[in-house]
Amino acid sequence: MGNFSNTSTCCDGASGGNIPWAVTYALMAVAGSTANLLVIYLVSSVRRLRSTSNAFIVNVCAADLLLCAFWMPQEAAALAQPPPPAAERTIAGSLLWLGLLASLFSHSLVALNRCALITKLPAAYRDLYRRRNAAAMMAGSWLAAALLLLPWLAGRGDNSRRPLGACSQLPVVGPALSRGCSAPASPYAGAVTAAAILAQTAVLLGAYSRILRRVQVSAKRVSVLNFQIISNLPYPFARKDRRSRFSVSFVLCAFLLSTEPFLWVLLFGLFQPVSTALSNLAWLLFTLLFVLSPYLYTRKNEEFKKSLRTLLGIELVREPTGVEPAIQAVSR
């Protein structure tokens, strides 16, 4: 992978320009860790949330938590002070890439699960997503990430192959953000990450396209963000169709906007230099996905909202009427 900017070394110590990025990482670490931990806690402690569909969301949150709670604080510290020793950089880079790949694979599993839940018959869905099968899928996402990490770790052992200025904890895009130095990254790391993003994009486009088609023709209107089927609506079907299509489009656009800029930076960076500002912006958008994914998956889920209100001690004065009837979850 070529340099993003110049070829000067960046290991001479921190500069004042790194402080805003360090603060940004610190804030993202707090927000992302809180959101992902909250979702994991609610699913594990609230019985009605213990469904197969929510188990896949927890798998995503676990991967994102690895990045928000462990990698982001280390990167913030690296930006605010002189770089740590090589061994610490390797550990931090391993955590980053393991969580990054596991997160991408887990998002694909959520999309496939959501598509099967909505487009297949309940009996076929239950047969496909038995507890053992679901556990094997989630374990496979972590195993695949770990196997793809091994060649990069083996390459790190050869110090003679490390380019000048490779002081970052980032195994994919090179030095830490805003250091204004060269961004040499392993061609293997860049190619594998780009391939993982491409695969995730293909899965998401295929799954959500099928969901949109199903929503448009289904006799029962489907709430695709909380895996629930809604019947006997007190308002015309067309209104629910528009809301469902908007919800699906919102989630899909959020994934595309956060992943595609970084994908193109990786692809162009394999052949020619990419500006530091562009690569920094693309990487920042990509890392926002680790912080916001709990919100994307739970923003329309009434069970999560009720459980969160209960956890926070917030009691509703009265239930809203005339909006939606009682909703029955379909997946356990």
Per residue in 24-36, pLDDT (tens digit) is 889 999 999 999 9
pLDDT digits 0-9 by tens, 180-239: 333 345 688 888 999 999 999 999 999 998 888 876 655 444 444 444 444 444 434 444
* Count of alpha carbons within 13 angstroms of residue 129, beta-carbon side: 24
The lowest-confidence range among 89-93, 135-139, 262-266 is 89-93
Count of residues in the chain: 332
What confidence category does residue 251 fall into, taking pLDDT thresholds of 50, 70 and 90? confident
pLDDT of the residue at 290: 94
Left, alpha or beta for 47 (phi > 0: left; psi -120 to 50: alpha)? alpha
Residue 289 and residue 201: Cα distance in Å, rounded? 14
* Per-domain residue ranges of the chain: 16-329
pLDDT > 90: what percent of the chain?
36
CATH architecture of 16-329: Up-down Bundle (1.20)
What confidence category does residue 3 fall into, taking pLDDT thresholds of 50, 70 and 90? very low
pLDDT mean over 150-155: 84
pLDDT digits 0-9 by tens, 79-120: 777 666 667 777 778 888 899 999 999 999 999 999 998 888
pLDDT digits 0-9 by tens, 282-301: 888 999 999 999 999 988 88
DSSP sequence for 129-198: T-HHHHHHHHHHHHHHHHHHHHHHHHHHT-GGGSPTT---SBTTTBSPTT--S-----HHHHHHHHHHHH
Structure-block tokens of residue 96: 């980053």
